[in-house]
Structure 1
Amino acid sequence: MSQVTHHQEQSTPNLGAEIVEVIADREGTNPTQLSPPLHSVIDPDALNSLFQSIVSEDSHREGSVCFTYYGYEVQVDSDGNIIAELLDRE
């Protein structure tokens, strides 16, 4: 399995867009060409809200969300890291 890791630098995350960009980059395609769209798998606004609430609080909490999208297992953690691991396509 091949893995790609991306770190979100912004204080206000747009994780949905970042996830799509990471996978499109890995696939060598335009983000708009990924089908199905990310919002059919996970609610990007809810994902952003989840991690925005962690970023805005004084205390540090740890956690992550995992889901499958476009043949990748995607993990987003509370630090804004995005890990996309290619699943076997056989």
Structure 2
Amino acid sequence: MSQVQTAEGGSRSASQTVIDAVAALEGIPSTELTPPLYDVVDPDALDKVFAGKASLGKVVFNYKSYEVRVDADSYVVVKDHRG
């Protein structure tokens, strides 16, 4: 199992942090990621959930062969569950 963890999103949106993390595991540029994230989850909604500093909670979803967890501080964990 491979895993990527990011620090706080900082100036990057939660959705862009997810895209970059999955692309890193795939070994490809983020612009070449297929299917696009918006086929799996609404990136605007994901960004809005974690836009404020007072955000709480987490969102967990599957994208490609990965389990993606986005925490309130835009900390992202992507786990690859392929053998």
TM-score normalized by the length of structure 1: 0.81
1:38 alignment partner AA = L
Which residue number in structure 1 is paired with residue 81 of structure 2?
87
Runs of 4+ deviating beyond 6 Å: none
Which structure features the higher share of helix residues?
1
Structure with bigger RCO (C-alpha 8 Å, 6+ apart): 2
Which residue number in structure 2 is paired with residue 4 of structure 1?
4
What CA RMSD, in Å, does the superposition of the two structures yield over aligned residues? 1.5
8 Å Cα contact 1:75/1:84 also seen in 2: yes
Which residue number in structure 2 is paired with residue 67 of structure 1?
61
SS in 1 for 2:51: helix
Summarize the alignment of residues 39-58 of structure 1 with structure 2, pairs less than 5 Å apart. 39-53=38-52, 55=53, 57=54
Q: Could you tell me how far apart the structure 2 residues matched to 1:51 and 1:15 are? A: 7
- Give the drift of 1:30: 1.2
Gaps of 5+ in 2: none
Among all aligned residue pairs of Structure 1 and Structure 2, give the percentage whose two residues are the same amino acid: 35
Gaps of 5+ in 1: none
Deviations along 1:33-76, one digit per CA (max 9) or x if unpaired, are 111100000000001111114x2x4xxx5310000112110000
